[in-house]
Amino acid sequence: MTNRLYYTEPYRTEFDATVVAVGVIDGRTHVTLDQTAFYPTSGGQPFDTGTLGGAAISEVIDREDGTIAHVTSGSHKIGEVVQGAIDWARRFDHMQQHTGQHVLSAAFDRLFGVRTESFHMGTLSATIDLAREVSAKQVATAEDEANRIVWEDRPVAIRFATAEEAAKLPLRKESIRTGPLRLIDVENFDLSACGGTHVARTGGIGVIAVGGSEKFRGGARVEFLCGGRALNRFRLWRDSLAATQRFLSVAPEEMAAAIERMQADSKAQQRTLRGFQEKLAIHEAHALLEKAWGQAVIIAAIEGWDAQGLKAIAVAAVAETPNLVVALFTATTPALVVIARGTAATADAGAMLKSLVAQFGGKGGGRPDLAQGGGLNGTMAQFQDALQLLLPQ
Ligand SMILES: [Zn+2]
């Protein structure tokens, strides 16, 4: 068994210990000490990092036999006395999140009788999974209650009890552990069996902010951020809001409505533009027919039109000249193409397009009277040559 200093001294960052075992597992050195302040991954809380004898600790593992393995880049001998130092910023962050979790879970439990099934601490935020669904109003009420407890700065005591004693105590969740229990007591608010590290008073949590909640496995998953993490999230949102505000020039609370208005305006403009484009397409078709007067085939590149515009021009042209075949390309590389034929023409627009795609790449398809495609890599001269071969002579 490794003596866990963090059980009774969660604020301790440096310690001396004696190496009791050294092993190599999967090429990594695992060092076991007689005592440690390093917290190993367990109970939803990630391990501490830091140094042991000056060498970095990359992972801390809670072993089945009650010992703790320190994965290190250094080399140590059994019996050697080493000095350990934990990364306090990381540990304190974990203490804020973990204590905040106790308070938030207790708030849901006390206010609405909703139990917390599990807790997970990620690198940016933490989540609790609740046994049943909760409304947005319930989440907000629990958040308020949790922060009331934070701001009252209540003591968070560490107590030890036998299993028998614990059985008589009003624990929020029955413990599945056997033997003596370590209890975390948030004064007059929450009593839980827990092996994690916690702040000494609730004020150390700073603030508990819910990031969001969603339905999850018949219950709810609530994301929350405590202390420094809440501040970091606030900064991230503040900066992105400020950046958005430079474009929209409205207050944050009016931003959603402003974007909705812009989207509606944009759709209306697109409709208007489409109407003009259709009218202009008819004029463009006339110009094309005049230039190619009497020809049965028009193969041309037209600038300034998108696929829909090309289609409108081609359709307008063949509508006026039933024996005409029209192939219109954009003047871009790769090119878009629309092929249309009049009701009296016999060419197969779909087959012509297929052949173009086979020769010049891209994709597309269509019917014998109308086909369109894009992504064609070739010059107008090449397209013209290819199409002339495909047309009925
Ligand atoms: Zn805990």
- Ligand 1 centre to CA of 197 (Å) is 6
Mean pLDDT for back-to-back runs of 10 residues, the chain (393 residues): 96 98 95 98 94 97 96 96 98 98 98 96 94 97 98 97 88 78 96 95 98 95 98 95 89 90 95 90 92 89 90 94 94 94 93 94 94 95 91 71
Decide if 330 is inside a domain.
Answer: yes
CA of residue 12 to ligand 1 center, whole Å: 17
How many A from CA of 187 to the centre of ligand 1?
14
**Span from the CA of 184 to the centroid of ligand 1 (angstroms):** 7
The tokens for 283 are 């004029």
Exposed, middle or buried: residue 195 (CB in 10 Å: 0-12, 13-18, 19+)? middle
State the distance from the centre of ligand 1 to the C-alpha of 198, rounded, in angstroms.
6
Classify residue 253: in a domain, yes or no. no
Contact 52, 68 (CB under 8 A): no
Going from the Cα of 95 to the center of ligand 1, the distance in angstroms, rounded, reads: 8
Tell me: do 236 and 100 sit in the same domain.
yes
Last residue of a domain, one of 51, 71, 86: 86
Token pair for 195: 């092996």
Residues 96 and 215 in one domain: yes
Dist. CA 195 → ligand 1 center (Å): 6
234 in the same domain as 134? yes
* Region class of 363: left (phi > 0), else alpha (psi between -120 and 50), else beta: beta
- CA 196 to centroid of ligand 1, rounded, Å: 5
What's the CA-to-centroid distance between 102 and ligand 1, angstroms? 6
254 domain residue, yes or no: no
Is 260 a domain residue? no
- Report how far ligand 1's centroid is from the alpha carbon of 242 (Å): 37
- Same domain? For 101 and 228 the reply is yes
Residue 70 CA to ligand 1 centre (angstroms): 22
> How remote is the CA of residue 161 from the centroid of ligand 1, in Å?
16
Give the Å distance between the CA of 160 and the centre of ligand 1.
14
Q: Could you tell me if residue 217 is left (phi over 0), alpha (psi between -120 and 50 degrees) or otherwise beta? A: left
The CATH number given to whatever domain includes residue 291 is: 3.10.310.40
- Give the Å distance between the CA of 290 and the centre of ligand 1: 83
CA of 39 to the centre of ligand 1 (A): 12
Of 86, 107, 123, which residue is a domain's last? 86
Instruction: Calculate how far, in angstroms, residue 125's C-alpha sits from the geometric centre of ligand 1.
Output: 16
Q: Are residues 104 and 230 in the same domain?
A: yes
Distance 97 CA to ligand 1 centre (A): 9
In a domain, 346, yes or no: yes
Q: Are residues 231 and 315 in the same domain?
A: no
pLDDT at 390: 83
Specify the pLDDT at position 96: 98
Its domain, for residue 66, covers 3-86
Counted domains in the chain:
3
Cα(183) to centroid of ligand 1, in Å?
Answer: 9
How far does the centroid of ligand 1 lie from the alpha carbon of residue 135, in Å? 25
Let me know whether 13 and 33 are in one domain.
yes
Which pLDDT score is estimated for 393? 63
CA–centroid distance, 6 to ligand 1, in Å, is 12
- Asked if the structure places residue 287 within a domain, the reply is yes
What pLDDT was estimated at residue 272? 94
CA 45 to ligand 1 centroid distance, Å: 8
In a domain, 139, yes or no: yes
In a domain, 261, yes or no: no
User: What CATH code is carried by the domain that includes residue 223?
Assistant: 3.30.980.10
pTM for the model stands at 0.76
DSSP line for 70-106: EEESS---TT-EEEEEE-HHHHHHHHHHHHHHHHHHH
By the 10 Å C-beta count (0-12 exposed, 13-18 middle, 19+ buried), 186 is classed as buried
